[in-house]
Structure 1
Amino acid sequence: MMSKTIRIGTRDSELALWQAHTVEKKLNDLGYKTQIIAVKSQGDIILDKPLYELGITGIFTKTLDIAMLNGDIDIAVHSMKDVPTALPTGIVQAAVLERATTLDILVHKGNLDFLEEKATIATGSLRRQAMWLNKYPNHNVVDLRGNVNTRMQKLTENEWSGAVFAAAGLERINLKPENYINLDWMIPAPAQGAMLVVAMANDEFSRQVLNELNDIDTEVCSHIERQFLKTLEGGCTAPIGALAVFIEDDILFKGVLFSIDGKQKIEIEKTIPMQEWKKLGFYCAKEILENGGAELMKSIKESLKK
């Protein structure tokens, strides 16, 4: 059985390929044969529309889902935060790799005076936009699309004061510049910094192999965060942040929902014993929905339709 070559599907951006090669190396070290198959995703091709306007969750994962359902690849590697909380029928979560940093960072031009003044900050994420405007209401936020390299390039070409990135992505491909600040006040996207490997439900071989790569702590924390997200949004894009971390035998969870303009903020923070993790994300989301979150989600859906 060791002789089966595992075909690893990935997007063709530098970061996606880095992630695929990381998984490949881990599998090769365990004695398995692999082959990397790179495909372009719609999310990489259509760069002139904001993500939420493209109207599908999973724009970056869809192409790989199709390749997998067609039998062209055996497994696929994703940034977990890009993956919709509901996987397509027949595809399952097979491994979550040990998490990198969850931090968001602001990459700037070397002078931070703009934080006190009017400024334009770039990000393609509704979550980052809302959190930024909540803290800096007099700033302007513009849409920024493309893979990490494209976004860094656009930052240098434009007059913007800065742009927000996930630290993990820039660190993985050595693009993190000297001019950055850690935005430790910004609650990350659910599962930020984690890599997910999916396989076909009926592919026993690949699933058993990938199980050897699974990091249980990251699996638990990302499950809580994604459950929180799923319970809140039901398939609609919204400014949602979530972070679960182990603190000795407890789990600390922080979750937040913002209005798109950042003016409204509903947050929750809970510490629970580790063994009660299974429904934590669900209960925290329910609490937010009861504290005005349901109305807020409704207005977010309405405003994104316009």
Structure 2
Amino acid sequence: MKREVRIGTRGSKLALWQANYLQAELAKIGLSASINIIKTKGDKIQDLSFDKIEGKGFFTKEIEDALLNEEVDLAVHSMKDLPTTSPEGLVITAVSYREDPTDWLIIRKEVSVKNKLLQLEKGAVVGTSSARRKAQLLHFRSDLVLKDIRGNVPTRIDKLRQGQFDAIILAGAGITRLELDLSEFDVIKFDPKEFIPAPAQGVLAFQVRESDKELRRQLRALHKQEVADCTNVERRVLKLLDGGCHLPLGAYCTKDHEGNYHLWAAYAETATAPLKQIRLSSSTRFELAEEAIKSLKG
């Protein structure tokens, strides 16, 4: 009897988009799959910003536990939510294409000011729960008032629509994948080399049990090595700083046609501390992340 692969995922619209995408990709290589929704700590705790939730992996741990307990066979994660070290017994076997890696600033049109930096008045209220985004926003506009915002992507946009914030900042990848209509707002799409995204932003990671050699072999057909070459550098920077997704760190790596790597990073010790930004280039990935750490900490 042909095996049906059980996919573990969170239940938000974006997570389900990711699971359905993976299901369709598996079908292309002849694998049938079912989708199993698992609630994570990050889904259950809606009243705290990310940096106040204990531990790392609060959007992934329960899914990883289900994998280890053989309740599911394959997990799909937003790679930027994934701790840099997999639990013993689990491995990242493949990564997806990279969707738009940029952050988007979404502004209510009635408060948008065209001739101001970021199109916001002095003291404008911006919604974000990300320490990385807070540090970079304050670097550009120290007068902004930053307020935590939780909930999935459509929920956050609704809160903006209701006037709870003047603007919010979200990953462009999620908005693009959900095909959300933002025509009622003004949108600034940041250059990822200036407002630096989270490590691996826009990439999906496919995680399986290390012992499931057959599925690991089959998943190699989905793996995008060019993407992995760059996200490995970004996530190495994060790992060397011993950080989770609450760390005020942006890292973005590209590879040019000659095979050279270019890395942009921004780091602050806290969301309100001074921001250090760097750019490095190298013909190899070897020790590129280590060089970045020296520059960021120097």
User: Normalization by structure 1: what TM-score?
Assistant: 0.90
Alignment counterpart, residue 139 of structure 2, candidates 97, 115, 134: 134
CA contact (8 A) 2:80 2:245 kept: no
CA contact (8 A) 1:222 1:244 kept: yes
Residue of structure 2 equivalent to 1:146 = 151
Residue of structure 2 equivalent to 1:297 = none
Per-residue CA deviations over 1:135-161 (Å, capped at 9, x if unaligned) read 110110000112112211222223311
3-state DSSP of counterpart to 1:229:
helix
User: Structure 2, unaligned stretches of length 5 or more?
Assistant: 114-118
Structure richer in helix, relative to its length: 1
Q: In 1, Cα distance between the equivalents of 2:215 and 2:233?
A: 25
Q: In 2, Cα distance between the equivalents of 1:95 and 1:236?
A: 20
Q: CA-atom RMSD, angstroms?
A: 1.6
> Identity, % of aligned pairs?
34
Q: In 2, Cα distance between the equivalents of 1:282 and 1:170?
A: 33
Alignment counterpart, residue 295 of structure 2, candidates 254, 273, 287: 287
Alignment counterpart, residue 166 of structure 1, candidates 165, 171, 192: 171
1:26–1:261 Cα change, 3 Å: closer
Q: In 1, Cα distance between the equivalents of 2:75 and 2:58?
A: 14
1:287, distance to aligned residue in structure 2 (A): 3.2
Q: In 2, Cα distance between the equivalents of 1:140 and 1:260?
A: 16
3-state DSSP of counterpart to 1:97:
strand
1:170, distance to aligned residue in structure 2 (A): 0.7
Using the TM superposition, name which of 229-238 and 55-64 deviates more. 229-238
CA contact (8 A) 2:238 2:244 kept: no
CA contact (8 A) 1:144 1:151 kept: yes
Q: In 2, Cα distance between the equivalents of 1:254 and 1:265?
A: 13
Using the TM superposition, name which of 263-272 and 221-230 deviates more. 263-272
Q: In 2, Cα distance between the equivalents of 1:54 and 1:238?
A: 12
Q: In 2, Cα distance between the equivalents of 1:136 and 1:116?
A: 10
Q: In 1, Cα distance between the equivalents of 2:272 and 2:263?
A: 21
1:271–1:103 Cα change, 3 Å: same
Using the TM superposition, name which of 83-92 and 280-289 deviates more. 280-289
User: Structure 1, unaligned stretches of length 5 or more?
Assistant: 292-306
Do residues 272 (structure 1) and 282 (structure 2) align?
yes
CA contact (8 A) 1:232 1:286 kept: no
Per-residue CA deviations over 1:10-50 (Å, capped at 9, x if unaligned) read 10111001001111101101111111111111211110011
Q: In 1, Cα distance between the equivalents of 2:68 and 2:124?
A: 46
1:267, distance to aligned residue in structure 2 (A): 2.2
Q: In 1, Cα distance between the equivalents of 2:50 and 2:106?
A: 21
Q: In 2, Cα distance between the equivalents of 1:91 and 1:196?
A: 12
User: Normalization by structure 2: what TM-score?
Assistant: 0.92
CA contact (8 A) 1:229 1:285 kept: no
Pairing of 1:75-90 with structure 2 (within 5 A): 75-90=74-89
Per-residue CA deviations over 1:245-278 (Å, capped at 9, x if unaligned) read 01212111111112434451222211111xx214
Q: In 2, Cα distance between the equivalents of 1:279 and 1:147?
A: 36
Q: In 2, Cα distance between the equivalents of 1:32 and 1:150?
A: 34
1:65, distance to aligned residue in structure 2 (A): 0.7
Residue of structure 2 equivalent to 1:112 = 112
Alignment counterpart, residue 220 of structure 1, candidates 229, 233, 248: 229
Q: How many residues are matched?
A: 287
Pairing of 1:154-303 with structure 2 (within 5 A): 154-178=159-183, 179=185, 180-184=187-191, 185-234=194-243, 237-249=246-258, 250-273=260-283, 276-289=284-297, 291=298
